[in-house]
């Protein structure tokens, strides 16, 4: 009785839980998907805005550098470097340094201004030790084509900030390149523009250099001037490999964040927008906890009701249980007395009808048993064949060889064994794919079946190896069959590639001998013959002659 009660209770709980949990899980998944889509859209908007602002800022700085590069002082200073008056050049160099220092005072975003000649040598700078900016090997030829050169942004420990260098060629009045003006900017000036405080969605924007160091952030508290933060390499690699896709990683504030990356090529900067994972899913988790509490209350109420209902039903069912026990023991001559007119009475009537049907169905069950045996025989046949080629599998092959050895022991009528290996099949399989490889194996198996007699046996021994048992055949007949197989499969049509593939086979041939006492010894001998065929150069048949013969091949 207790088991029936427990089943009713469990059924009631499952009937309540399955739809409730199903709908709840579906609802939460949809909510989570919507949250993910909204966060993705907002973070993409952040990265796009930051990239656009960065691009505009760089273009503005390029215009500033271009304007400075047209200065008459720069042109005259570089022009004097090619003249023999060295004293005049030194004066011009001093004038350039004074000019660069005066320009530096007027430009708050500039850290360094450096002038180099056409050889890339520093002529003048506003600082004693300017930041080294390497020009290209083919400069100034590249400068005549590319014009402005924006260097990769990076963190500079001396200035404790991120810097960006822009190189602009200085042209003479005749449009000849005299040198270049290299201006190093402080990227902190773009920090307020990384995110619109009013219109931008919540989240932080990070600018990372090529080494993954966080150079700038929309929130200044993220950047530590002494030791700039950086993302863990694994998280950075996932973000860079999947630009625009959400990833969960450990953020610079030492908390889990949800973010995505945008890869800027000019200049090479990784822009990452992220938000706190906890803040994003706080409302979702609160709703989840409320849902779990509600489901718990519903389960308690349903369990209580189910318990009372099961107690009221169990007692009348005892008679049906006893009658069912008799049927289980094989007594189908069971007839219950029915005096009830409720649902249990209807159940009793149906039970009596069921026993009558059971008696009638015994004959049908017997017939079904016979049909099942026939199907089992079919399954037994399928278990002995290889699914790809339709040939016998290795287990069936061992059985066939054992039977042939037993027959040879009785009759002394020899049988021949061929072991076939597809030459260079691994190379073909690796280069053309497993689909083509399987098609080639199946085609070879089909050709082998066409080249042997109905009384012979063909089996797939391994991946690209086949074994053929020629019943009551000697080595001479086996050699003819082997050569016929080798030539027959030389050209295999591959439907996957829609072309004919050149396939060669190495075949080892042996004849059963008196020392063949087991399947292993027989297969070992034919495997040795196959090895000789492959060792001799492949695409050939090697026959291991019986002891009374004189030669091989």
Can you give the pLDDT at residue 369? 80
Specify which residues 259 forms β-bridges with: 247, 274
Query: How many other C-beta atoms can be found within 10 angstroms of the C-beta atom of residue 36?
Result: 14
Cα–Cα distance for residue pair 365/370, rounded to 1 Å: 9
The predicted model gives 150-177 an average pLDDT of 84
Give the pLDDT of residue 141. 65
Same domain? For 140 and 196 the reply is: no
Sheet holding 416-422, edge to edge: 457-460, 465-470, 416-422, 505-511, 541-544
Residue 343 lies in a domain: no
Residue 391: which of 436, 429, 442 has the closest Cα? Answer: 442
137: which 2 tokens? 């090997």
Within-domain flag for 47: no
Return the pLDDT at 553.
38
Which whole number is the average pLDDT over 383-389? 84
d(CA 16, CA 18): 6
Q: Does residue 158 sit in the same domain as residue 240? A: no
Are 173 and 115 members of one domain?
A: yes
**Domain-located, residue 127:** yes
Is 341 within the bounds of a domain? no
Residues 146 and 196 in one domain: no
Distance CA 522, CA 518 (A): 6
What integer pLDDT is reported at residue 550 of this predicted model?
40
d(CA 163, CA 151): 9
**Domain final position from 282, 304, 328:** 282
Coil/strand/helix, residue 334:
coil
Average pLDDT of the segment spanning 514-540: 92
Q: What pLDDT shows up at residue 446?
A: 92
Say if residues 258 and 274 touch (Cβ distance below 8 Å). yes
Residue 351 inside a domain? The answer is no
Q: How many residues does the chain have?
A: 553
Q: At what angle do helices 86-106 and 72-80 cross, to 10 degrees?
A: 150
* Distance from chain centroid for Cα 86: 66
Range of the domain at 218: 191-282
270 vs 32, which has greater pLDDT? 270
Partners of 425 in beta bridges: none
Residue with tokens 């990356």: 261
| Domain's final residue, options 225, 249, 282 | 282
CA–CA gap between residue 263 and residue 240 (Å, rounded) = 7
Residues 438 and 480 in one domain: yes
Residue 360 is assigned to a structural domain of this protein: no
pLDDT in tens, 314-329: 766 777 777 788 778 7
Judge if 175 and 278 occupy the same domain.
no
Candidates 252, 247, 182, 240; CA nearest to 211 is: 240
* Among the listed residues 408, 401, 411, the one whose alpha carbon sits nearest the alpha carbon of residue 519: 401
pLDDT surpasses 60 at 1: no
Q: What is the pLDDT of residues 425-457, one digit of tens each?
A: 898 888 888 898 899 999 999 999 999 999 999
Q: Are 83 and 219 found together in one domain?
A: no
- Kindly tell me if the per-residue pLDDT of 84 is higher than 80: no
Report the alpha-carbon distance of residue 116 to residue 119 in Å, rounded: 8
User: How many structural domains compose the chain?
Assistant: 3
Say yes or no: 175 and 205 in one domain.
no
Which of 504, 521, 487 lies closest to 479, judged by CA? 487
CATH number of the structural domain spanning residue 159: 3.30.450.20
**Span 257-267, average pLDDT:** 86
- Is residue 164 domain-shared with residue 232, that is, in the same domain? no
The model's pTM: 0.51
User: Does 6 score more than 90 pLDDT?
Assistant: no
- Does the residue 8 lie in any domain? no
Q: What is the pLDDT of residues 57-77, one digit of tens each?
A: 888 888 888 888 888 888 887
pLDDT at 552: 38
Looking at 262, 282, 302, the residue that finishes a domain is: 282
Q: How far apart are CA 308 and CA 303, in angstroms?
A: 9
| CA atoms of 261 and 253, how far apart (whole Å) | 17
Q: Is residue 134 part of a domain?
A: yes
- Are 399 and 524 part of one and the same domain? yes
pLDDT band at 142 (very low <50, low <70, confident <90, very high): low
Tell me the pairing of strands 149-150 and 154-156. unpaired
pLDDT of residue 333: 75
Q: Are the C-beta atoms of 418 and 456 separated by less than 8 Å?
A: no
Mean pLDDT, all residues of the chain: 83
In CATH, what number is assigned to the domain containing residue 532? 3.30.70.270
Q: What is the mean pLDDT of residues 458-481?
A: 92
Would you list the DSSP string of 90-123? HHHHHHHHHHHHHHHHH-TTEEEEEEEETTS-EE
92 with 172, same domain: the answer is yes
Instruction: Please tell me the predicted confidence (pLDDT) of residue 465.
Output: 93
- Which of these, 457, 322, 483, lies nearest to 401 by C-alpha position? 457
What is d(CA 60, CA 65) in angstroms, rounded to the nearest whole number?
Answer: 9
pLDDT at 536 over 70: yes
Are 156 and 70 in a shared domain? yes
């Amino acid at each position: 009785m207790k088991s029936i009660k427990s089943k009713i209770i469990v059924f009631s709980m499952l009937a309540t839980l399955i739809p409730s949990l199903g709908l709840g899980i579906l609802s939460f998944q949809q909510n989570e998907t919507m949250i993910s889509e909204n966060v993705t859209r907002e973070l993409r908007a952040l990265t796009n805005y930051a990239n656009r602002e960065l691009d505009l800022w760089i273009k503005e700085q390029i215009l500033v550098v271009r304007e400075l590069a047209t200065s008459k002082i720069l042109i005259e200073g570089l022009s004097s470097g090619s003249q023999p008056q060295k004293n005049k050049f030194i004066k011009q160099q001093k004038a350039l340094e004074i000019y660069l220092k005066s320009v530096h005072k007027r430009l708050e975003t500039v850290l360094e201004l450096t002038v180099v000649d056409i050889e890339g040598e520093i002529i003048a700078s506003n600082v004693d030790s300017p930041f080294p900016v390497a020009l290209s090997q083919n400069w100034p030829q590249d400068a005549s084509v590319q014009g402005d050169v924006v260097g990769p942004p990076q963190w500079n420990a001396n200035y404790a900030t991120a810097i960006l260098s822009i190189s602009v060629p200085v042209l003479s009045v005749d449009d000849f390149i005299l040198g270049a003006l290299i201006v190093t900017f402080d990227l902190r000036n773009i920090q307020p523009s990384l995110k619109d405080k009013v219109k931008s969605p919540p989240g932080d924007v990070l600018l990372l250099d090529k080494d993954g160091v966080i150079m700038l952030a929309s929130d200044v508290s993220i950047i530590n001037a002494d030791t700039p933060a950086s993302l863990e390499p694994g998280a950075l690699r996932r973000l860079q490999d999947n630009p625009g896709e959400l990833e969960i990683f450990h953020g610079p504030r030492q908390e889990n964040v949800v973010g995505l990356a945008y890869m800027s090529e000019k200049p090479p900067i990784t822009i990452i927008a992220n938000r706190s994972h906890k803040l994003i899913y706080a409302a979702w988790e609160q709703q989840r906890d409320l849902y779990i509490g509600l489901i718990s209350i519903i389960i308690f109420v349903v369990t209580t009701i189910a318990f009372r209902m099961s107690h009221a039903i169990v007692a009348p069912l005892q008679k049906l249980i006893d009658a069912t026990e008799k049927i289980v023991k094989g007594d189908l001559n069971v007839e219950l007395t029915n005096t009830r007119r409720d649902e249990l009475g209807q159940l009793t009537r149906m039970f009596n009808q069921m026993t009558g049907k059971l008696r009638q169905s015994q004959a049908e069950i017997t017939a079904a048993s016979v049909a099942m045996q026939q199907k089992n025989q079919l399954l037994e046949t399928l278990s002995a064949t290889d699914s790809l080629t339709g040939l016998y599998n290795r287990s069936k092959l061992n059985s066939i060889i054992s039977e042939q050895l037993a027959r040879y022991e009785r009759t002394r009528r020899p049988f021949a064994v061929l072991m076939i290996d597809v030459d260079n099949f691994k190379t073909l399989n690796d280069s053309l794919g497993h689909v083509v490889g399987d098609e080639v194996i199946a085609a070879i198996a089909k050709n082998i079946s066409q080249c042997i007699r109905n009384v012979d046996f063909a089996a797939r021994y391994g991946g690209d190896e086949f074994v053929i048992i020629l019943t009551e055949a000697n080595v001479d007949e086996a050699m003819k069959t082997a050569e016929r197989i080798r030539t027959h499969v030389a050209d295999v049509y591959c439907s996957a590639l829609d072309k004919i593939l050149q396939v060669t086979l190495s075949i080892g041939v042996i004849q059963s001998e008196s020392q063949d006492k087991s399947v292993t010894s027989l297969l070992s001998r034919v495997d040795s013959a196959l090895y000789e065929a492959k060792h001799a150069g492949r695409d050939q048949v090697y026959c291991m002659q019986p002891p009374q013969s004189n030669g091989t091949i």
